[in-house]
Amino acid sequence: MCGICCVVSLSVQPPKTCLLEKDVFCRLRRRGPDSSHQMVKSAPDLLYQCFFSGHVLHLRGEMTPQPVEDPTSGNVFLWNGEVFSGGTSVTAEANDTHVLFHHLCSCNSEADVLSLLSSIQGPWSFIFYQVSRHYLWFGRDYFGRRSLLWQFRQELDHILTLSSVSAASDHPWREVPASGIFRMDLQDCGASKAVALTLHPWKYPSREDPVEEAVIGDLSVVSKCLPTNVSLVVQESLSLLAPVTPLNKEVRGVPEVSQCLDCTKNVADMRVLQMFLAEDHRKKIVHQFINVLSRSVERRVLCLVRGNDLLRGEMSGAASRRPHVAVLFSGGIDSIVIATLADRHVPLEEPIDLLNVAFELPDQGSQRSSTRKPSMEKKELPPSSGCINNDNNTVSCPSLASFNVPDRITGRAGLEELRNVSPSRSWNFVEINVSLEDLKAMRQEHICHLVYPLDTVLDDSIGCAVWFASRGEGLITNQGDIRPYKSPAKVVLTGIGADEQLAGYARHRVCFKNRGLEGLNEELGMELGRISSRNLGRDDRVIGDHGKEARQVGRQLFPFLDEDVVSFLSSLPVWEKANLALPRGLGEKLLLRLAAAELGLTASSVLPKRAMQFGSRIAKMEKRNEKASDKCLRLPSILVE
């Protein structure tokens, strides 16, 4: 995880004030604590200059400070991403920043640049200054899995800022749309003293059907997020090939399921899953899905530098080893399948952290067990926590009832399932307990700035839950002793993307009921198309904020949004992925439930979908009566436009 930033100024005079705001710099530094460098590139004759700022969290290959400058061409590169596969090969020992920059500097045309970016599989955002053409290239991957924001100003000496994170300002920030790659001709902008952008949009790979060659998505949304003084040209003739196949919208040939409906009696049951698995065709698809998802997890957990380092403290056995992989873990179907597949590929002697967050239930403050920055060293826990730190660094908690939320209950049940499936693995179940005081303090200090420019009640709830979960500070039980613990994991795996592709939300049932399979297909296509603006940029900013404290936690990875996984699921007709004629806990995400059953998971295979904000109880913590789409009044007013 890195923090990248570029400020474009249409002036050759030294700025009167620092081009990079102090708050923005501090948040960039939190994302990348291992290296921070700045650079200015100017073209006096063409009346522009660019200020670049790079902040690196080193996780892979040789340490590469950013921004990177090519000594021959003078090109400059800022990169926040991971290359897992595709046309650009990056070995485990290599640094993807170096490899990509070398390829970019070798590009002789715009088409070469776009072809290279189209070939990358993995999450990324980037900024590339091409000196010979005076071009500034920037953008995000197809799904928008890495954050990149932009801010436009009308002052002639400071017209555009690109940054991984933002800060409160009189000038609003917006997320750079993940609609394609943007190009800015600095020479033309310097001459006209105005911002003009060219967008190279994503297109599906060519097929016999000409409709599938159309530009992906509605590009009018791009123009809507630009100020009136910024011009935009969409260059469809030079586009990027999408890394995934288009959605299969076939609705003919749906198999009969009446016999399954009769046997369920409107109750989710493992016997129904076994009935489906008895079908050869269905079982083949389930195994194909398990294999492609397993490869996705493997790519994400093995591209790490590992050592035989031990954790400090009195931990015994395998638990004393340093975990490098964590899972945001509610015990639900998404997270438990990801954890099970991670177990296949993470070295057996290495523990896996299961990060389970719970927010204090209302009116039970006297019983709470708050988690406030525990460390492996002896420390005093706050009196309000209800926990006592003993001389041997264990913690005695008279009652944890105030954090006994639904996700904590299913999380513990899921932990037992994982222990049954893989008894030799050391699973660190990290109970992350958040008091109301902690929530208010951290929202004000950090989270509100990371959620921004999003501002709804749902953004606040999910952003807070993910921030505390990914921080990884909580309590674990080791041989009967409760101990303070901070996860040192370098990678955080999440189940984001499963619901959007496998019809996991309640609104999908409503859509199916009202509009049938055709309507459901349209809804699923829309879900995946808007996931960058609704989820991924926000979550990347939230999780990346912990780079400074942990110096290792920093990469949130989405196995369900791996390009190969998305292409596989998109190739299937909708009825192979979900059957919403079946009851809750069974019909939604049916394919994933069948995969879980085939992997040996039982109770979790038929758990109904429960949103994070409800399972963790953050939605009820402050006794709110709001709609998820309402603007969140708890965010500072300066951030709510």
Q: Which of the residues are catalytic?
A: 2
Helix (H, G, I), strand (E, B) or coil at 251: coil
Compute and round to an integer the Cα radius of gyration of the chain.
25
Could you say which DSSP state residue 240 is in? E
Terminal C-alpha separation, the chain = 29
Tokens coding 26:
């501090």
What's the CA gap between 220 and 235, in Å, rounded?
14
Q: Which of 261, 248, 255, 249 shows the shortest CA–CA distance to 279? A: 255
Q: Are strands 555-557 and 491-493 parallel, antiparallel or unpaired?
A: parallel
Residue spans of alpha helices (H) in 346-405: none
Helix (H, G, I), strand (E, B) or coil at 128: strand
Preceding omega of 67 cis (within 30 degrees of 0): yes
What's the CA gap between 366 and 385, in Å, rounded?
8
**Amino acid in the structure at residue 238:** L
Q: Are strands 325-328 and 352-359 parallel, antiparallel or unpaired?
A: parallel
What's the CA gap between 357 and 407, in Å, rounded?
8
Q: How many residues does the chain have?
A: 641
Edge-to-edge strand list for the sheet holding 48-56: 35-43, 48-56, 2-9, 160-163, 149-152, 174-175
What's the CA gap between 482 and 385, in Å, rounded?
14
Tokens coding 110:
């715009």
Residue spans of alpha helices (H) in 32-178: 96-105, 110-118
Burial class (CB in 10 A: 0-12, 13-18, 19+), 327: buried
**Amino acid in the structure at residue 257:** V
What's the CA gap between 295 and 560, in Å, rounded?
11
Q: Is 145:123 a contact under the CB 8 Å cutoff? A: yes
